[in-house]
Amino acid sequence: MTFRAKLFFVFTLALLVSVGVIVAGVTINTRRAFDTLNAEHTNALLAQFQREFDRRKVEVVNRVHGVAEDQGTVTMAMNLARPGADVSVYVNDAREVAQAHQLDFLDFLGDDGSIISSYEWPARFGYKLAWVTQPQDWSSVGAFLTKVDTQDGPAIGLLSVTPIRVGDKNLYVVGGERLDKQFLSELVLPEGMRALLYLNLDSQFQAGDLVDVNGPVTQPDPFTATISDELARPTERSFTIPYTIEAGAAERFHALPLQGRDGELLGVLLVGNSQRDLVAIERHIAMLGAAVAGGGLLLGLLLSWWAAARVTRPVKKLADGAQRVSHGDLGSRVEVRGPAEMMQLANSFNRMTDQLNEQRERLVQAERVAAWRELARRLAHELKNPLFPLQTTVQNMQRAKEIDPSQFEEVFRESTGILLSEIDNLKKIISRFSDFARMPQPELAAVNLNDLARSTTKLFESQFSAVGRPPITSELHLNADLPAVQADSTLLRKALENLVLNAMDAMPAGGVLMLRTTAQDGGVHLEVSDTGTGLTPEECDRLFTPYYTTKQHGTGLGLAIVQSVVSDHGGRISVESEHGVGTSFHIFLPMKPPPRPPDHAPANGDGA
Amino acid sequence: MSRRLAASSAIIAALAILAIPARPARRPHYGGTLRVEIGSTVNSLDPARAAANPADATVEREIESLIYEKQNADGSLAGVAGSGPFRISEWEPGKRLTLAANDDFPGGRPFVDSIEIDMGRSAHDRLVDLGLGRTDFSEIPAEDARQASGLGVRVSATQPDELIAIAFLPGHSAADDVRLREAVADSINRAAIVDFILQKEGEAAGGLLPQWSSGTAFLFPTTPDTVHAKELRSQIAGSSEIRLGYDSGDALEESIAERIAVDAHEAGITVATDAIAPGANAGRNDARLVRARMSSAKPGEALTSILSALDRAAGIDVAPLRNLDSAEQIYAAGRGALDGFHLVPVVWVPQVYGLSDRVRDWETPAAGESWPLADVWLDPGAATKN
C-alpha cells in the first residue's frame, strides 16, 4: 500500500470516526431533548390531573355540603333526632337527591353509621359503614379516594362526608363521584397523549379493570406485568410498551398510584405518550444527519485525497530521487515546494546526494590508489622472485670470470640458461597482467551454455583424474530446454575455465565438481559448485576484487576476469559458500546483453 | 319518602280535605258509578280457569266474581256471565270494562248502578288518581301503603295473606348443597325487608302460614343468623353463585331480591339477581322469588293452597298433605315442607286497597274472599274531584 493510500485511508478513517461521533452525539442529544420534552409533557399532564383532581375534590365537597344543606335533608336529620324515629320512610330518598346533585354515590347514614338510604346500592339499608362514625373532623378531611360497594360490584369513588348534627345525634351524608372512564374523558390531554385508569378492585390484575375513555382497554395484556408490579410496590414509574416491532407504535407511560385515606392502593393512573411523532422526528433528524454526514463524508474523501496527494507529492519526489540514487544516479536532485519541513527534507536529500557524490569520488580515488598500491605490491612481489636469481646468476658469472676464467665458459652457459628461464617467467607474469588489462569487447553470437559446459568439462577431464592427485568427479545437470543466449563464447569459455580451475584448487583432496544450467525469467542460470574447503564470509566479500587471492601463488585475477566477463554480458555473479561443505558460484546471463554506453571504454592495461 | 310525591302531597291533602263531606250518609244509597282502576290488563274472563285453579287469586278472578254467581260448595264460580251481581255492559279487552248492576241477582241488586274498570294503570297513576279522587277503588302495592296514607288516601289492608318466598329450583347444581340453601335462609334480614321495603306493611315469614292464621309462625325463626350462614358457607368449597330470578314486572320482588343479594353477600355468598320476563323460562336461574296467596283463612286450607301455588310457580314437589285437622298437624306439615330449605319463606304481604271517601260500607276482605264491590254504596254527599 502506498503512502498516499495509507494517508488517504487514515484521513478517511478519521473522517468516518469524526462523522460517527458527531452523528452519535446529535442523536443522543436529540433523544435526550425529546425525553425531556416527553417528561415535561407527562409532568404537565400529571400536574393537570392533580389540579383536576383537586378541583373535583372541592366540587365533591361542595355538592355533598349542598345535599346536607338541602331542606329535605335537614328535615330528615331533625326527624331522625326524635326518640323512636322511623328511618324506614327515608329508604328511597338517596336516589332522587343524588340525581338532583349529580352525585354518583350518596348514602344517608344514621348516628350509628347504619345506612338509611343508599343510591349506589339501594338494598343495602340497615348495614353499617363503621368508618364514618370514627372520631374524625370530616370538614378538614375534604374529599378522598375510597373503594365503594355498589349494586354492580365494587367501584372507586372520590367521596366526601358531611355530618349534620341535631341534638346529640348525627346524620351523615356520604357522597361523591365515580372514578371511571367519564372521569378520564373530562381530562384535557395534548394530542398524542392518553390517560388510562386501572381500578384496583380485585386481589390481582384484572384486564377488565383497566379502562380508558371508551371503557375497558382493548389491549390490556401489555400492561399486565407493570400494573402487577405497581400493585405489589406502589410507586411512580415510567415504562414503554412497544406493541409491535415498529418503533413508532410504542407508547411511553407514566404510572401514578392513587391511594386512599389509609394509604391503600385504589387505582393507578397511566398517562401515555405516543412515540409516533417522536420516532418520526428522530427518523427525520437521522435522515438529515445521514445526508449531511454522507455529503460531508464525500467532501471529506475528496479533501482527504487532495490533502494526501499534496502531502505525499514532495515525499514521492524524494522517493523517486532516492530510487534514482539507488540506481547509481548520484547527480539526481529533488526540487520540492511545500511545507518548510518538506523543503528542509529535500535540501537535506540534495546535500546527502552531493556528499555521496563527493564520497564516491573520494572512494574511487582511494580505490584507485589502493588498486595501484595493490598492483605495485603484487608486481613487486611477482617481479622480486625472478629478479633475485637473475641477480645471483649475474654475480656468479662475475665471480667466475675473475676467479677462474677456465670455468667461466661453463658457468656462463649455466647462468645464461637460468637467466633465460627467469626472464621467461617475467614475461609470463607480464603477459597475465597484460591479458587482464586488455579484456576485449564481447563479440555476440548465439551460445548454448550446455555445450560450453560439456566442452569445458571435457577439457579438464584428464586433469580431474591425473596421476598423483586425488580424483575429482564432475557432474553435469544441464537443462535440455536451455535457450541460447547472445554472448561471446570465447570469453564465456575463459570465465568458465577460470571457475573450473578455481574449483580444482579448492579441492586438493578431490571431490565433486557440479555444473548446473537452468532457464530463468529473461535469461539463463549457470551454477558451478565444488565440495572443497569453502570460504569465510570475509573472503566471499572480497573474492572478486582484482589481485585478491586466498592462494599462495595466485595472481588474484582469475575471479576478477570472471566477474568482468559476466559484467560485460550484462549478467550477475554471486557466491555461496559454507566452510567445510563447499562453494557455489551462480552466474545469471540475460538473453541479450544491454547495449553499452558509447563512452564506456574497454578496460586495458592503461586504464585507471 | 319520595320527594316528588311528597311535594304533591300537600296539594292532594288539601284537595282531600275539601272533599270530606260535612256529614256522612247514614243510610245506603242506590245509584252511582263506582270507578275502579287496576294495574293489569284483562283480556278474557273464564270461570273454568278459575275453577281449575281456585287458589289462583288474580284480578280476573275478582272481576269474574262480580259477574258469575257462586254456586259451588268450594266457592268456585259457575253459571253464565251476568248471573252474578253485575253483568257486562261494555267490554274493551285489555282496556276498559263496564259492568251494570244486575237487577235480577238472587242476592239482591247491588247498590251501585255500574262499575267502570280502567285497566293497565300504573301504581303511580293509581295512587295519584286516588289522591285526587279520580277513582273510587284501586289496589295499592303494599310497599306504597304508607306513602298513600301520607298522601291522604283512604287505605284498607288485609291481614298479610300473600307469601313471598325463595324457591330453589330442582335440578340446578348451584343450589344442590343444602348448606348453601340454609346459609341463604339464615342470612336474610326479613325485618329489614318488612320495615324498609314494605314500609312495615307485612310480616316476616319463617313458615308457610302467617301468625294470625296459624298461631305457630313464631316457632319458625325469622331473624338473620349471619354467623351461622358464614359458617355454613365456609364449609362449602368453591365460589358457587346463585342466580335468583324475580318477576321483571314486580318492583317489590325486585327490591326483595336485591336485599337478599346484599344479605347473602354479607355472609360470603354471591347471589346475582335476574329479572324474568312474564312467561319466560327461568331455566338459567337456580332460584326464584314466588308469590303464593292464601285461599282461605283456615290454616289447613291455606297451607294446602300455599303449597299448591308454590308448586305451580316453581315446580316444588311437595308430598300431598293429609290430616290437617289440628294445629300440631298443620305445624308439622308446614315444617316438613320446609325441610331441605328448598322453600325459604321471606315475608307475608297484605292486600292493600285505596278507597275514595264516597265509598261506604267497605269491608276488608278476608283471605280467600273477593272484592266486596257489590256491597258498597256511594255517598252522593261526598264531593267528587272529577
Give the pLDDT confidence of A424-467 residue by residue, as tens digits.
888 887 877 777 777 777 888 999 999 999 999 998 888 888 87
- Fold (CATH) for A182-274: Beta-Lactamase (3.30.450)
CB atoms within 10 A of CB B338: 18
Supply the CATH number for residue B316's domain: 3.10.105.10
Predicted local distance difference test score (pLDDT) of residue A231: 87
Whether residue B21 is found in the same domain as residue B111: yes
Mutate to test the interface with A, among B2, B3, B347 (most CBs of A within 10 A): B3
Residues A46, A51: Cα–Cα separation, whole Å:
8
Nearest CA distance, A87 vs chain B (angstrom): 8
Predicted local distance difference test score (pLDDT) of residue B48: 66
User: Among A305-309, B140-144, B180-184, whose mean pLDDT is lowest?
Assistant: A305-309
Q: Which long-range contacts (CB under 8 A, 24 or more apart) does B195-198 make?
A: B195/A88, B196/A88, B196/A91, B196/A125, B196/A126, B197/A91, B197/B143, B197/B252, B197/B255, B197/B256, B197/B259, B198/B142, B198/B143, B198/B252, B198/B347, B198/B349
For A112-170, what is each residue's pLDDT tens digit?
999 999 999 999 999 999 899 988 888 888 899 999 999 888 899 999 999 999 988 99
- What b/e readout covers B26-44, taking b as 16+ CB neighbours within 10 angstroms? eeeeeebebbbbbbeebee
More confident residue, B73 or A604: B73
Average confidence (pLDDT) over B281-288: 82
Predicted local distance difference test score (pLDDT) of residue B49: 64
> For chains A and B, what is the number of CB pairs under 8 angstroms?
40
Whole-angstrom CA distances from B325 to A19, A526, A587, B54, B207 are 110, 153, 153, 21, 18
Whether residue B372 is found in the same domain as residue B319: no
Full strand arrangement of the beta sheet holding A210-212: A215-216, A210-212, A193-199, A265-274, A251-259, A237-241
Question: Residue A517 region, left (φ>0) first, then alpha (ψ -120 to 50), else beta?
Answer: beta
For A458-491, what is each residue's pLDDT tens digit?
988 888 888 788 899 999 999 999 999 999 988 8
Whether residues A121 and B262 touch (CB distance < 8 A) is answered with yes
Q: Which residues of A touch B196 (CB under 8 A)?
A: 88, 91, 125-126
Phi first, then psi: give them for residue A176, nearest 5 degrees. Answer: 175, -170
Whether residues B261 and A123 touch (CB distance < 8 A) is answered with yes
ipTM score = 0.79
Are residues A238 and A203 in contact, defined by beta-carbon separation less than 8 angstroms? no
A513 pLDDT more than 60: yes
More confident residue, B171 or A424: A424
Beta bridge partners of A156: A147
Nearest CA distance, B197 vs chain A (angstrom): 8
Whether residue B337 is found in the same domain as residue B358: no
Are residues A444 and A508 in contact, defined by beta-carbon separation less than 8 angstroms? no
Predicted local distance difference test score (pLDDT) of residue B7: 41
Closest to B262 (Cβ–Cβ): which among A93, A96, A123?
A123
Give the cell for residue A153.
360490584
Average confidence (pLDDT) over B145-164: 92
Whether residue B325 is found in the same domain as residue B343: yes
Identical topology for domains A70-179 and A441-590: no
CB atoms within 10 A of CB A362: 10
Residues A592, A490: Cα–Cα separation, whole Å:
16
Predicted local distance difference test score (pLDDT) of residue A598: 56
More confident residue, B97 or A435: B97
What 3-state class would DSSP assign to A167? Answer: coil
CB atoms within 10 A of CB A410: 11
Mutate to test the interface with A, among B143, B262, B347 (most CBs of A within 10 A): B262
How many residues are there in chain A? 608
pLDDT band (50, 70, 90) for residue A557: confident
Supply the CATH number for residue B95's domain: 3.40.190.10
A280 pLDDT more than 60: yes
What 3-state class would DSSP assign to A386? Answer: helix
Whether residue B178 is found in the same domain as residue B235: yes
Q: What pTM value is reported for the model?
A: 0.62
What 3-state class would DSSP assign to A598? Answer: coil
Whether residue B322 is found in the same domain as residue B251: yes
Nearest CA distance, A116 vs chain B (angstrom): 9
Predicted local distance difference test score (pLDDT) of residue A349: 85
Whether residue B64 is found in the same domain as residue B174: no
Predicted local distance difference test score (pLDDT) of residue A554: 65
Q: Which residues of B touch A126 (CB under 8 A)?
A: 189, 192, 196
Predicted local distance difference test score (pLDDT) of residue B137: 96
Whether residue B80 is found in the same domain as residue B212: no
Q: Which residues of A touch B255 (CB under 8 A)?
A: 122-123
Residue B14 lies in domain: 3-158+352-378
Mutate to test the interface with A, among B9, B196, B253, B260 (most CBs of A within 10 A): B196
Mean pLDDT in chain A? Answer: 84
Predicted local distance difference test score (pLDDT) of residue A608: 30
Residues of chain B by 3-state class (helix, strand, coil), percent to 5: 35, 20, 45
Predicted local distance difference test score (pLDDT) of residue B51: 56
Residues A372, A608: Cα–Cα separation, whole Å:
9
Whether residue B367 is found in the same domain as residue B269: no
Q: Which residues of B touch A97 (CB under 8 A)?
A: 3
The domain tally of chain B equals 2
A606 pLDDT more than 50: no
The class (CATH top level) of A441-590 is alpha beta
The class (CATH top level) of A70-179 is alpha beta
Residues A277, A218: Cα–Cα separation, whole Å:
22
Domain parsing of chain A, residue ranges: 70-179, 182-274, 340-434, 441-590
Predicted local distance difference test score (pLDDT) of residue A341: 81
Nearest CA distance, A218 vs chain B (angstrom): 27
Residues A75, A54: Cα–Cα separation, whole Å:
31
Whether residues B3 and A96 touch (CB distance < 8 A) is answered with yes
Residues B372, B363: Cα–Cα separation, whole Å:
7
DSSP state of A439: P
More confident residue, A237 or B1: A237
Torsion from C-alpha of B378, B380, B382, B386, nearest 10 degrees: 90
User: Among A9-13, A236-240, A587-591, B18-22, whose mean pLDDT is lowest?
Assistant: B18-22
Whether residues B3 and A72 touch (CB distance < 8 A) is answered with yes
User: Among A44-53, A586-595, B336-345, whose mean pLDDT is lowest?
Assistant: A44-53
Kind and range of the H or E run holding B136 = none
Are residues B86 and B374 in contact, defined by beta-carbon separation less than 8 angstroms? yes
Mean pLDDT in chain B? Answer: 84
Residues 6+ apart with CB under 8 A from A589: A449, A485, A487, A523, A524, A526, A566, A569, A570, A571
Residues B317, B170: Cα–Cα separation, whole Å:
9
Beta bridge partners of B110: none
Q: Which residues of B touch A92 (CB under 8 A)?
A: 1-2
Helices (H), B188-284: 190-192, 211-214, 226-234, 251-266
Whole-angstrom CA distances from A76 to A168, A173, B2, B9 are 15, 11, 12, 17
Nearest CA distance, A76 vs chain B (angstrom): 10
pLDDT band (50, 70, 90) for residue B193: very high
Q: Is residue B385 part of a domain?
A: no
Which chain A residues have any C-beta within 8 angstroms of a chain B C-beta?
72, 86, 88-93, 96-97, 121-127, 151
Nearest CA distance, A89 vs chain B (angstrom): 5
For B1-53, what is each residue's pLDDT tens digit?
444 444 444 444 444 444 444 444 457 888 899 999 999 888 877 766 655 55
Predicted local distance difference test score (pLDDT) of residue B10: 43
A-chain residue closest to B254, CA distance: A123
Whole-angstrom CA distances from B113 to A7, B32, B93 are 128, 5, 21
Whether residue B104 is found in the same domain as residue B222: no
Q: Is residue B199 part of a domain?
A: yes
Whether residue B123 is found in the same domain as residue B108: yes
Whether residues B192 and A126 touch (CB distance < 8 A) is answered with yes
Taking each helix axis from N to C terminus, what angle separates A558-568 and A408-437, rounded to the nearest 10 degrees? 30
Nearest CA distance, A92 vs chain B (angstrom): 6
Q: Which residues of A touch B200 (CB under 8 A)?
A: 86, 88
Residues B193, B142: Cα–Cα separation, whole Å:
12
Phi first, then psi: give them for residue B220, nearest 5 degrees. Answer: -100, 120
CB atoms within 10 A of CB A544: 19
Q: Is residue B383 part of a domain?
A: no
Whether residue B356 is found in the same domain as residue B303: no
Question: Residue B152 region, left (φ>0) first, then alpha (ψ -120 to 50), else beta?
Answer: left
Kindly write down the DSSP assignment for every residue of A193-239, as one continuous string. EEEEEEE--SSS--GGGEEETTEE-S--GGGHHHHHHHHHS---EEE
Amino acid in position B47: P
Residues A516, A546: Cα–Cα separation, whole Å:
26
Whole-angstrom CA distances from B68 to A281, B49, B72, B103 are 90, 13, 11, 14
Are residues B309 and B315 in contact, defined by beta-carbon separation less than 8 angstroms? no
